[in-house]
Structure 1
Amino acid sequence: MTISNFVKNNVKDLLEFLKSTSFSKAVLIGVAITVPIVFGLITDYFEIGIALGFGAFWASPSDVNGNLKHKQIGIIFSTLLIVVISFIGGYFHISNIFLFPLLGVLTFSIAFISIYGFRASMVSFSGLLALVLSFANISETLEIYQYSLWLGVGGLWYLGLSTLWFYLNPKTYTEETLNEIFILTADFLDIRKKLIGEHPDRDALQTQLINLKIELTELHDSFREVLISYRKSSGKSSYQGKRLLVFVELVELLETAIANPVNYNKMDELFKIHPEFEINFQKLISEFSYQLRAIANQINNSKKFPENNVLNDSFKHLERDILNLRDETKPEGYERYLILQNFLDYQKKQFEKLKRIKRILGNYLLTTDDIISSKDLKNFIKTQDYNPKLILRNLSFKSTIFRHSLRMAITVMLGYGIGLYFNLQNPYWIILTIIIIMRPSYGLTKTRSKDRVIGTLIGAVLATSLVFFISNTYVFGALGVLSLVIAFSMVQKNHKASSTFVTLSIILIYAITEPDISSVIQFRIIDTVIGALLSYAAMRWLLPAWSFMEIGDTIKDALKANTEFYKSISTYYQEKGKVPTSLKVNRKEAFLQLSNLSAAFQRMVQEPKSKQNHIDDIYELVEINHSFLASLASLSSYIQSHKTTEASEEFKMISEKIQNNLDAVCSQLKTIDFESKIINPNPLAIKNESKRIKVSIDRFTNETILNTENLRSHKEAHLIWEQLYWLFSLSEKMLKLTLKFKMN
């Protein structure tokens, strides 16, 4: 890479970062903190300004991207929690006898709020920040109740700023997220392209695909909520309507990309015999990927979208070359012809999706046919359950959040006790480190502990260098605020970098009033190291919640979602007609649950080897579920875009057998004890029907090809029956695998 290209790419990345919602939110927080403080300095109400700034800062974590109403409610709840906790915390210093039990109870109660989902966990984090910093004795002139109320006003000040910013930039999050979905979908196609033909790193590529699916599913879920809720609240906006239609096309384009007309072994054999098709299909998919990136970069300027000429030419060449293979007198050759025809059909469907995306983003006028009914849209949003009974259901050691809350409460009490015992300068820094680092997941806590310590050390070195060369307090203040903004903007993307700039900011701000800044740096490092070590040790040995304890439920949820998706596909293939909304809803749920399963397995891999019970078998179950969903995507995509023949009795029979196997696996999963390391030495034998089913399918496919001259019927028979056999063999494999485990 040349120097000019390197500079160009880095400048582009910097500009993208400066335009991101992460950076704009960080600037918003910076403004929310500094304006009241500067106003307080000018008007001699410095402590009120500090209280307003802290109130805004503590309320800001609940300002997560999404629906404006939910965002506002989250900030309001954070503000109320901050006021109450700060008022109670203000009296902590009266007696150490009451301090520790009260600190433990409050920490547990606030952390336990996380049972109500991600936004609630951010509200919880705001409350924990207020609890920790109530130890800082920030105000010397304001009464405790006055200080608490001013914190509340600061939270409302942030609410006003956040709402104003949303109305000034209502499209920012939509545009950024849609752009990211385009880019990640293009990345997905790039990896999918490499999987065509035999590849030495296929397992590694499959892992990358799974990671991308997790990321895309999460983005789809949050983007879907924003678009649909915005449409419900503001009416039928042309802008939002077009974005919703583009999103629908991108989801279906991803489904088609996951789809595969046959299993990889057959594709590998085919491309060994005809390597030219491997190259040509890879070129075709590369062009799709390139065009998605080009659209993402020029999303509001349709005139700069790439032309379809390259794709049109590629399809013409492929159609001509595939047609040359057609020879119905040779069964093997004709099967290869059908495989390539079906694979080409999937690429054509992607091309149609791509062309429609270009049309919608151009001068496209929405019609009544384009408008999705509110009733249908509502089915795609999963509302959070805020029932108080959820608290009672989670008051159990089986609950991960219960264990996490109790673990954090004990660790916080221990951390503060160590700080007092050794007479550290700011012992609340220890518990601040604990609440920032500790997460319900062992792997994430371990990573954040390491990143926090490294970031703090780097920040301390940078701060020491700056303090050594600079003595101007105004420069300290400006650099402190700038560092804080950078830290906030990177908190979700790079915890190590965020920790570096947080440390830098805190030390520079202390340097304004603290003459002995070296002691501040020293204690900052000591407190951070103690907090990180306590967090890791507690996660490792104090009420640990290892993934194998809940992986069974996660597998069951994924399999249940796959089963419902399969039933929808089977029913639609038999009944025909308009594609039901339930099929698309079940598809969404299948992707979401499989994403949850993949994430759960990744957490398990990050845990100590001794806690990875049945890791190989669980990995196999995860892989089978992914293969099952890929096959379902193939079926779903095909039957929705092709006119299909009447479902035969054989189809209904095999379909029922697949459903029976899936139901049996679900029943098995309810009773499996993943905590036990024992494997059933004599699993019950099950009837092996794969070979018999394969013979029936081959016979039926050959009869269809011999008795009809319609190419469409030949392609349908080959694809439907190929996928049906693959689904049956996967369901049978899962059943055999689950029978190995010890039952409760």
Structure 2
Amino acid sequence: MFISNFISNHIRELLEFLKSTSFSKAVLIGVAISVPIIIGIVIDHLDIGLAICFGAFWCSPSDVSGNLKHKQIGIVFSTLLVILVSFIGGYLEISNYFLFPVLGVLTFCIAFISIYGFRASMVSFSGLLALVLSFSNTSETLEVYQYALWIGAGGLWYLIISTLWFYLNPKAYTEETLNEIFILTADFLDTRKKLIGEHPDRIKLQTQLIDLKIELTDLHDTFREILISYRKSSGKSNYQGKRLLIFIELVELLETAVANPVNYETMDVLFEIHPKFKIDFQKLLSEFSQQIRSFENCINYSKKIPSNKVLFDAIKSLELDISKLKNETKPEEYEQYLMLQNFLDYQKKQFEKLKKIKWLLGNPELTTDELVPADDLKRFVNTQDYNPKLILRSFSFRNTIFKHSLRLAITVMLGYGIGLYFDLQNPYWIILTIIIIMRPSYGLTKTRSKDRVIGTLIGAVIASALVIFVNNTYVYGALGVLSLTIAFSMVQKNYKASSTFVTLSVIFIYAILEPNIVKVIQFRVIDTVIGAILSFMAMRLLFPAWSFMEIGNSIKDGLKANTAFFNSLSKYFQEKGKVPLSLKVNRKEAFLQMSNLSSAFQRMAQEPKSKQNHIDSIYELVEINHSFLTALASLSSYIQNHKTTEATEEFKILSKKIEDNLYTVCSQLSTINFESKKINPNPLDFKSESDRVKLSIDNLTDDTILNTKNVHTHMEAHLIWEQMYWLFSLSEKMLKLTLRFKID
């Protein structure tokens, strides 16, 4: 049974991999670089075929999945850049004394393009590839300008086949991204289920939730750009409209899943008294995640959509059991009833969202009124600033990309110098390794250095064994293209495996040209190790960009986003009416900034211990910000989905207190020097109001329950005041933490 499950799981993973856009793009690159070479051999112009092949290969990194127009613009810019770089590189027949500064300046300028965002960084990478490989790929039959133009033709060739592939399968990336969102959302719900399990490790589970939330937020951002940009460029589309509505439900579903309308410690006590509720809620959450996971197979097969009956029966059963607590006379049991009823209420909202997704997956006909207005959508897309003034603003040692570009330029010059000094066979392999490995963050560079070396060694061993037993140039050519295709398809998912196949492809290609292949393998390993060591050492010693220098800004950005979300929510609760678009935009920004903050902290945690200044306090600030967003999500979900009573004067006063605390914390963060190791463990100027506010809120809740018999009013008072107290106590904790740091 175990073996059959193991085999079936791996077969399913393999089939999913073969259907993925990563694999299809890798095949596309394989075709783009193979066809020109084959045609070049047939027409006896291999030099032209190779130039077109290199052009297509160098421009392929800029083929970033997303909107077709943006993809095409990225490839066009890459093409222009590789033409320019190849033209300059071809005429760099100068002495090494002049070559080094020119190489350094060109590397810096090309790398600095990355200040314009991710797509620009891929264009930059294309230019760096062209610069490095221009040292090795000089044509004996073509003039430099001809060679550069044929390389440009290769870029346009790749643009044509990439565009054709998009039109042949325009839904591929949309469907794959949506499937990933389904699976990660199901994983998120599974993890949430474990939080109410038997003695859960909540710290570990909360960390897992944060990691999943980062992935989901990134996927949401990508998917939002695909759908919204598509509608902006092609008008209304029934298919895209349905996918957009499904996406909106998934975003709402995540917000409700992030929300925590109950206190886990209190619920632990309740579940000890009533263990049946814990089992029933876990079963309900499991069914939610299983159904969401099954949506992956329902996108184009509506008959596979699971029935609502199981969820409906489970919710009905829980409703009956919880209602029995309402009839108890003890006050504490009535409070337990309110708590469970609120928790069940959230699950009912999830059920409504699931039913809406199922309906949309059933391919219904949508009216114009059901589609989201295009003007509203624009506010949800983050637009990249391409103002030329950004170059001047970024030309500073406070800018991470500036320091990375300078660091990369110096390391590339050093690597090339070492290759020339020791008369290595292919010194450009060293600088190629450097530009592939080195990233702006220390943790990622360290990981890629290790994976690159290990992958190269594994690839060298496998290639050595194959070369001994196989001596056929056609087989080498086929294995080289196949290895390169696999390498490209795995570069995002498994960099170590990708490095293994890159090494295999390079060795097989050189085996066709170089009879002494053992020597090629030897130098490949040596050059890779040198490049990896230089990259790692440069990150430690050259203009290091340690995360503690920037973590304060990340915390402040996250706090500002949370503050804007809280203010929008408080205003909406007081004014009622239709949910304003600004509230949804602020919610999206809060989730995005929390994802960025978590990523910033993870980068810090990967750095040397000596560079992790105040990591415990910073971790606490990050956790509090996440808890703050959780409480906001709870309030937001409840207030938007229920008819609430008028905001009391006490609510307005407490909202003002929370707001004042948040602004004070923001002000404090602006003055903190995180590079200083000094802290004030007991700030004397902090006086907590937490106990007094808690007592006041308990009295307000009790008064509400005594003065009205309306259960929904009781549920509202219990949830809203509990969340408001939690928000207030979290704002106080942040204030106390920031007062501990030494203020300059």
In the TM superposition, residue 94 of structure 1 has moved relative to its aligned partner by: 2.3
Amino acid at match of 1:737: L
The aligned counterpart of 2:228 is 228
The aligned counterpart of 2:28 is 28
The aligned counterpart of 1:102 is 102
- Aligned mates of 2:529, 2:111 — CA distance in 1: 22
Cα contact 1:135–1:428 (8 A) shared by 2 = yes
Task: Give per-residue Cα distances to partners, 1:658-715, cap 9 Å, x unaligned.
Answer: 0000010011111110011111355242231111111111111111111111111010
- Aligned mates of 2:148, 2:40 — CA distance in 1: 17
Amino acid at match of 1:669: L
In the TM superposition, residue 137 of structure 1 has moved relative to its aligned partner by: 3.6
In the TM superposition, residue 198 of structure 1 has moved relative to its aligned partner by: 5.7
Secondary structure of 1:369 counterpart: helix
The aligned counterpart of 2:425 is 425
In the TM superposition, residue 69 of structure 1 has moved relative to its aligned partner by: 0.7
Cα contact 1:132–1:432 (8 A) shared by 2 = yes
Trace 1:182-581 onto structure 2 (pairs within 5 A): 182-197=182-197, 199-327=199-327, 329-581=329-581
In the TM superposition, residue 743 of structure 1 has moved relative to its aligned partner by: 1.6
Amino acid at match of 1:346: Y
In the TM superposition, residue 127 of structure 1 has moved relative to its aligned partner by: 0.4
- Aligned mates of 1:333, 1:680 — CA distance in 2: 44
In the TM superposition, residue 313 of structure 1 has moved relative to its aligned partner by: 1.3
Secondary structure of 1:94 counterpart: coil
- Aligned mates of 2:139, 2:678 — CA distance in 1: 59
The aligned counterpart of 2:74 is 74
The aligned counterpart of 2:690 is 690
- Aligned mates of 1:381, 1:414 — CA distance in 2: 41
The aligned counterpart of 1:713 is 713
- Aligned mates of 2:225, 2:585 — CA distance in 1: 14
Task: Give per-residue Cα distances to partners, 1:714-742, cap 9 Å, x unaligned.
Answer: 10010000000000000001000000011
Cα contact 1:484–1:505 (8 A) shared by 2 = yes
Closer, same or farther: CA 732–377 of 1 in aligned 2, 3 Å: same
Matched, 1:51 2:51: yes
Task: Give per-residue Cα distances to partners, 1:258-314, cap 9 Å, x unaligned.
Answer: 111133222222222222111110000000000001111222111111111111111
Amino acid at match of 1:230: Y
Q: Which runs of 5+ in 2 are unaligned?
A: none
- Aligned mates of 1:313, 1:262 — CA distance in 2: 23
Cα contact 1:697–1:725 (8 A) shared by 2 = yes
- Aligned mates of 2:137, 2:73 — CA distance in 1: 29
Closer, same or farther: CA 420–677 of 1 in aligned 2, 3 Å: same
In the TM superposition, residue 365 of structure 1 has moved relative to its aligned partner by: 1.6
- Aligned mates of 1:358, 1:399 — CA distance in 2: 46
Task: Give per-residue Cα distances to partners, 1:459-501, cap 9 Å, x unaligned.
Answer: 1111111111111111110010000000000111111001000
Cα contact 1:684–1:739 (8 A) shared by 2 = no
The aligned counterpart of 1:128 is 128
Cα contact 1:196–1:278 (8 A) shared by 2 = yes
Cα contact 1:115–1:391 (8 A) shared by 2 = yes
Amino acid at match of 1:368: T
Closer, same or farther: CA 273–328 of 1 in aligned 2, 3 Å: closer
- Aligned mates of 1:654, 1:38 — CA distance in 2: 73
Cα contact 1:184–1:216 (8 A) shared by 2 = yes
Cα contact 2:297–2:304 (8 A) shared by 1 = no
- Aligned mates of 1:263, 1:396 — CA distance in 2: 47
Secondary structure of 2:256 counterpart: helix
In the TM superposition, residue 257 of structure 1 has moved relative to its aligned partner by: 0.7
- Aligned mates of 1:653, 1:63 — CA distance in 2: 53
Amino acid at match of 2:455: G
- Aligned mates of 1:162, 1:200 — CA distance in 2: 48
Amino acid at match of 2:576: K
Task: Give per-residue Cα distances to partners, 1:27-65, cap 9 Å, x unaligned.
Answer: 000111000010000001100000000000000000001
- Aligned mates of 1:168, 1:309 — CA distance in 2: 39
Secondary structure of 1:135 counterpart: coil
Secondary structure of 2:440 counterpart: coil
Cα contact 1:326–1:334 (8 A) shared by 2 = yes
- Aligned mates of 1:685, 1:332 — CA distance in 2: 38
Amino acid at match of 1:321: D
> CA RMSD of the aligned region, Å?
1.0
Task: Give per-residue Cα distances to partners, 1:182-219, cap 9 Å, x unaligned.
Answer: 00000000000000156342111111100000000000
In the TM superposition, residue 6 of structure 1 has moved relative to its aligned partner by: 2.0
- Aligned mates of 1:646, 1:595 — CA distance in 2: 34
Cα contact 2:194–2:200 (8 A) shared by 1 = no
Secondary structure of 1:93 counterpart: coil
The aligned counterpart of 1:181 is 181
- Aligned mates of 2:2, 2:103 — CA distance in 1: 57
- Aligned mates of 2:137, 2:23 — CA distance in 1: 31
Matched, 1:84 2:84: yes
Amino acid at match of 1:5: N
Amino acid at match of 2:451: D
- Aligned mates of 2:274, 2:624 — CA distance in 1: 29
Q: Which moved more, 1:11-20 or 1:176-185?
A: 11-20
Closer, same or farther: CA 328–487 of 1 in aligned 2, 3 Å: same
Amino acid at match of 2:612: Q
Amino acid at match of 1:513: L
Amino acid at match of 2:473: T
Q: Which runs of 5+ in 1 are unaligned?
A: none
Amino acid at match of 1:456: T
Amino acid at match of 1:246: I
- Aligned mates of 1:347, 1:508 — CA distance in 2: 57
Task: Give per-residue Cα distances to partners, 1:493-530, cap 9 Å, x unaligned.
Answer: 11100100000001001111211011000000000000
Cα contact 1:433–1:531 (8 A) shared by 2 = yes
The aligned counterpart of 1:742 is 742
Cα contact 1:661–1:735 (8 A) shared by 2 = yes
- Aligned mates of 1:485, 1:682 — CA distance in 2: 59
The aligned counterpart of 2:656 is 656
Cα contact 2:183–2:293 (8 A) shared by 1 = yes
Secondary structure of 2:65 counterpart: coil
Matched, 1:111 2:104: no
- Aligned mates of 1:327, 1:256 — CA distance in 2: 28
Matched, 1:730 2:727: no
- Aligned mates of 1:198, 1:333 — CA distance in 2: 22
Trace 1:589-608 onto structure 2 (pairs within 5 A): 589-608=589-608
- Aligned mates of 1:586, 1:382 — CA distance in 2: 13
Amino acid at match of 1:78: S
Amino acid at match of 2:60: S
Cα contact 1:197–1:267 (8 A) shared by 2 = no
Amino acid at match of 2:686: I
The aligned counterpart of 2:140 is 140
Amino acid at match of 1:269: V
Task: Give per-residue Cα distances to partners, 1:58-94, cap 9 Å, x unaligned.
Answer: 0000000111111011001111110111111112232
Cα contact 1:104–1:410 (8 A) shared by 2 = yes
The aligned counterpart of 1:614 is 614
Amino acid at match of 1:651: F
- Aligned mates of 1:213, 1:571 — CA distance in 2: 27
Q: What TM-score comes out, normalization by structure 2 length?
A: 0.99
Trace 1:612-651 onto structure 2 (pairs within 5 A): 612-651=612-651
Cα contact 1:113–1:120 (8 A) shared by 2 = yes
Secondary structure of 1:256 counterpart: helix
Task: Give per-residue Cα distances to partners, 1:232-280, cap 9 Å, x unaligned.
Answer: 1111111000000000000101111111113322222222222211111
Amino acid at match of 2:281: F
